[in-house]
Amino acid sequence: MGLGLLALRATRTTSATLTRFSSSSPISRVPTISSFIRTIISTPELQKPEASAATQSDPLPEIHPPRTPLGGARVHFTNPEDAIEVFVDGYPVKIPKGMTVLQACEVAGVDIPRFCYHNRLSIAGNCRMCLVEVEKSPKPVASCAMPALPGMKIKTDTPIAKKAREGVMEFLLMNHPLDCPICDQGGECDLQDQSMAFGSDRGRFTEMKRSVVDKNLGPLVKTVMTRCIQCTRCVRFATEIAGTEDLGMLGRGSGEEIGTYVEKLMTSELSGNVIDICPVGALTSKPFAFKARNWELKGTESIDVTDAVGSNIRIDSRGPEVMRILPRLNEDINEEWISDKTRFCYDGLKRQRLNDPMIRGPDGRFMSVGWREALALVAEVVLKVKPKEIVGVAGKLSDAESMMALKDFLNKLGSNNVMCEGNGVNPQADLRSGYLLNSTISGLEKADVFLLVGTQPRTEAPMVNARIRKAVRATQAKVGYIGPPADINYDHQHLGTGPETLLEIAKGTHPFCASLLAAKNPSIVVGAGVFEREDKDAIFSAVETIAKNVKAIRPNWNGLNVLLLNAAQAASLDLGLVPESENCIESAKFLYLMGADDTELDKLPNEAFVVYQGHHGDRSVYRANVILPASAFSEKEGTYENTEGCVQQTLPAVPTVGDARDDWKIVRALSEVAGTPLPYDTLGSIRARIRTVAPNLLHVEEKELPIFNAELKPEVSQKMSKTPFGKAVENFYMTDSITRASKIMAQCSASLLASK
């Protein structure tokens, strides 16, 4: 709720009172022009609502300007007969049955001030800020908790409602410290905004303010508990969405406190979201504390690349520095939450950066050189090597454009050994349904039975995990899990650890089959960690058998899902980054690593020439002969496809560091120096090239669902091994070069993993 909107609203109501007073009752004290200009008024009429109600007993029929619903609020009638009509300030509005008064007001375009109400959390009704007047009700009612009834006459700008808000605000500010100048929420604080718009201009409280001891919630969330107004949004978020019952309410009356019952850290991977939902400055970001003011920041709407979900984020930057990362609303992907890794990995963007092209000298040390020398050296070496011995590996964070350029470049040199890490040595890239989350992230809510095969969504994709949890909470969906013992934050059955359980389910002998068969929308989620296994084809054929048995693939429901791990994976398989030979790295003489840090380089021959192109000095740099500095995701425009096949683009928020360049530009320049120039030199023309390979990668913010299903796949005769499934993500907080460079992530993995 922006301050401007609130101020506008306050002015509008004031002018309405002005006209009403002057027209209907000339005897009453006519407000002067000065009170019209001021947006906050305390008038004698407001102190005595009965008297003012008596003076305007016969109001003139008012003509309302047409109003638009707030914040794009839309009404969806599942059953047209359920529609009821209520009147908000005399304005008729049709809403479905079961909506609250507050929602009805939102549809009518009236913004009700609120603190405890949040439309993704359960209703608490304890802040009392949303009081409105309802005709024939003796007292003002809390609109967030009151269901709207047919024919209800809701009044939001009467003196009673105004006085109620003013009174509530006075009570809230009673114990709230006056420390806005040193508060990190200052400028984006709901209490600040609403006290300007709805509060009184003075308080009557003369006692001492209460103070509360701060709690330690770990390295991410800073608490200043004296500022807390006990809205309990954070408690409800922790129990309902994050699924960790860490926070709670202690004490009664003025001794009421939010806290962990015993001294402990908040162990959720979504804990950063309590910073966003806290309406005051009680919970703020610890790494961001006292770093910047929100009005100094430039927001850039971008995409997260630390996992395969592609959460929509806003990168807030000041000058050349990323200051913080906030979520952006996207109902289909991340709703309005992001994981802690996404939110706090940004300090990794400022550490361990590669800023100059470097060449390893004869003494084994790196020395900075110009681009000309570095590219000339690489081109000289690559032209001497046999085409078969050239291998390219794209990293976890590569965008589609640079992967396209890398593949085209190596193909021009005569090699077809291009791969993307995380996809295994022999990925299946022919059928898109074989590597996408086919029922889509938001579609997971409709599923009623889940079978998780070798995947721990909580660490691999926390936003997907939040969806599964939402489904489990909302519809009591059953979850069966096959894999190593894991910390899953919803009710589930641990069916087994290895592929033999999968075979049992495929044969129909396992007890969980009954629930799968009874399910309306069964959803089978296979982790991308399976890609790295030798027997992945056998496992996938077993999973497909299960899907066929339980009728998981129907025209309107596709319940066979693969949950990918990395941001680059889906796009790389769409572009066909499949190596020609399975053991190409063992025989490579020239290895081009494009940000690939998790590739096993032990088997690489010692004499092989390694080029590392990337933005961080991480694992693979130490094996490199030439380092080419590239830009990170916050510094470039790139296309990423998430695990459900939704294509999104990042936008540059900050300039690149040092002499670094965009990935595709480096590959393009290298191809020119090597004498095989690629036929594109703008982002537009490289996308035109992508259009010929994978046209879906150009349909930004659209999900291109796979057309063909697994039935087209050839029969496999692979033997399934007995090796149990492993954990694909060992440490949730450190999975790629950015997060491994981040100090905050290191603190998290040290303190939070130790506390478990």
Partner 1 sequence: MVELSPSNFRVLNRVPFTRAKPECIFKRVGDTSYVYCLSGQTKIHNIGSTCVGVDKFGNKYYENLDYQSGRHRWVEYGDKNRYNASQVPPEWHGWLHFITDHTGDEPGRYEWDAKILERELFFNETQSSAHSLPSNRISSRVIDLRFRHIALKAIHVSNFLDAIALLMLRPKRYGIEHKQNFSGEGDEYIYHSKGHSLNPGQRDWTRYQPWQPTKTS
* Per CB under 8 A, 362 contacts partner 1: no
Closest CB 356 distance from partner 1, rounded Å: 8
**Binding flags for partner 1, 628-667, as an x/- string (CB under 8 A):** -----------------------------xxx-x---x--
* Per CB under 8 A, 675 contacts partner 1: no
Question: Where does this chain touch partner 1 (CB under 8 A) — which range of 16-24, 161-169, 256-264, 361-369?
Answer: 361-369
Among 617, 638, 645, 652, binds partner 1 (CB under 8 A): 617
* Per CB under 8 A, 66 contacts partner 1: no
Closest CB 351 distance from partner 1, rounded Å: 5
Closest CB 387 distance from partner 1, rounded Å: 22
Distance, CA of 487 to CA of 422 (rounded, Å):
23
Identify residues 373-402 at the interface with partner 1 (CB under 8 A). 375
Question: CB within 8 A of 585, min separation 6: which ones?
Answer: 391, 393, 591, 599, 600, 601, 603, 604
Six-digit token string for 478: 């059953």
Nearest CB to partner 1, comparing residues 606 and 717: 606
Closest CB 275 distance from partner 1, rounded Å: 23
CB of 676 closer than 8 Å to CB of 664: no
**Binding flags for partner 1, 93-132, as an x/- string (CB under 8 A):** ----------------------------------------
Distance, CA of 65 to CA of 75 (rounded, Å):
20
Per the document, the length of the chain is: 756
* Per CB under 8 A, 365 contacts partner 1: yes
* Per CB under 8 A, 412 contacts partner 1: no
Distance, CA of 122 to CA of 46 (rounded, Å):
33
CB of 110 closer than 8 Å to CB of 89: yes
* Per CB under 8 A, 261 contacts partner 1: no
Among 669, 694, 720, 748, binds partner 1 (CB under 8 A): 669
* Per CB under 8 A, 668 contacts partner 1: yes
* Per CB under 8 A, 508 contacts partner 1: no
Distance, CA of 343 to CA of 351 (rounded, Å):
16
Strand segments, DSSP code E, in 304-440 are 312-318, 321-327, 358-360, 366-368, 390-394, 418-420
Neighbouring CB atoms inside 10 A of 89's CB total 21
Question: Where does this chain touch partner 1 (CB under 8 A) — which range of 206-214, 329-337, 371-379, 488-496?
Answer: 371-379
* Per CB under 8 A, 672 contacts partner 1: yes
Nearest CB to partner 1, comparing residues 65 and 319: 319
Q: What's the one-letter identity of residue 445?
A: E
* Per CB under 8 A, 623 contacts partner 1: yes
Nearest CB to partner 1, comparing residues 422 and 617: 617
How many residues of this chain bind partner 1 (CB under 8 A)? 36
Question: CB within 8 A of 546, min separation 6: which ones?
Answer: 451, 502, 505, 506, 516, 524, 552
Closest CB 372 distance from partner 1, rounded Å: 5
Among 351, 507, 520, 691, binds partner 1 (CB under 8 A): 351
Best CA proximity match to 277, nearest among 131, 100, 142, 115: 115
Neighbouring CB atoms inside 10 A of 102's CB total 25
The b/e string for 308-322 (b: 16+ C-beta within 10 A; e otherwise) is: bbbbbbbbbbeeebb
3-state secondary structure labels for all residues of 217-261: CCCCEEECHHHCCCCCHHHHHHHHHHCCCCEEEECCHHHCEEEEC
* Per CB under 8 A, 370 contacts partner 1: yes
Distance, CA of 138 to CA of 665 (rounded, Å):
70
Residues lying near partner 1 in the complex (CB under 8 A) are found at 319-321, 349-356, 364-366, 370-372, 375, 616-617, 621-623, 657-659, 661, 665, 668-669, 671-673, 677, 681-682
